[in-house]
């Protein structure tokens, strides 16, 4: 079994976990609105399952695990977990701009204008879509 097949099966497993466990447990059932809260997460979970299985079946090429990149991915995952915990404790409005700025700095962005735009505009757009358009709440 190649690394590509393992990654495809892991992705499909994650999609199945989302579809069966996380989406039903983390979305509220409502009778109003033209898009139900669980619609998009369910569609994306099914897409992950299908694309993961496709990756496992149609394995073209060979992939090698680069330990340096794996360590960077693990560090980023730890950063995201910390950000989620901080958002639950202090709120989206306060944590999201700092999180976006930290990711931009980690990716090498140093221009102050772009840092400010990214750190304010992206969380602002997320807030606008979730709170205003979808009428949902964000942490905090």
For the entire predicted model, the pTM comes to 0.62
How high is the pLDDT of residue 1? 66
Q: Give one DSSP letter per residue of 63-115, joined into a string.
A: ----HHHHHHHHHHHHHHHHHHHHHHHH-HHHHHHHHHHHHHHHTT---HHHH
Distance CA 13, CA 18 (A): 9
Look at residues 60, 25, 72, 70 and name the one whose alpha carbon lies nearest to residue 45: 25
Per-residue confidence (pLDDT) for residue 4, from 0 to 100: 87
Contact of 125 with 134, CB cutoff 8 Å: no
Average pLDDT by stretches of 10, the chain with 140 residues = 88 97 88 82 96 91 84 94 95 95 94 95 94 87
User: Rounded to an integer, what distance in angstroms lies between the CA atom of residue 72 and that of residue 80?
Assistant: 12
For the beta carbon of residue 31, count every other beta carbon within 10 angstroms: 5
């Amino acid at each position: 079994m190649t690394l590509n097949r393992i990654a495809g099966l892991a992705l499909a497993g994650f999609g199945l976990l989302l579809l069966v466990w996380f989406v039903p447990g983390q979305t509220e059932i409502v009778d109003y609105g033209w898009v139900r809260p669980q619609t998009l997460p369910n569609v994306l979970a099914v897409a992950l399952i299908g694309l993961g299985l496709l990756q496992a079946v149609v394995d073209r090429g060979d992939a090698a695990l680069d330990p340096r990149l794996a360590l960077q991915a693990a560090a980023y995952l730890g950063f995201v977990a910390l950000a989620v915990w901080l958002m639950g404790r202090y709120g989206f409005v306060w944590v999201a701009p700092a999180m976006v700025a930290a990711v931009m700095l980690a990716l090498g962005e140093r221009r102050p204008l772009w840092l400010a735009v990214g750190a304010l505009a992206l969380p602002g757009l997320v807030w606008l879509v979730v709170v205003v358009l979808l009428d949902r709440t964000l942490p905090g």
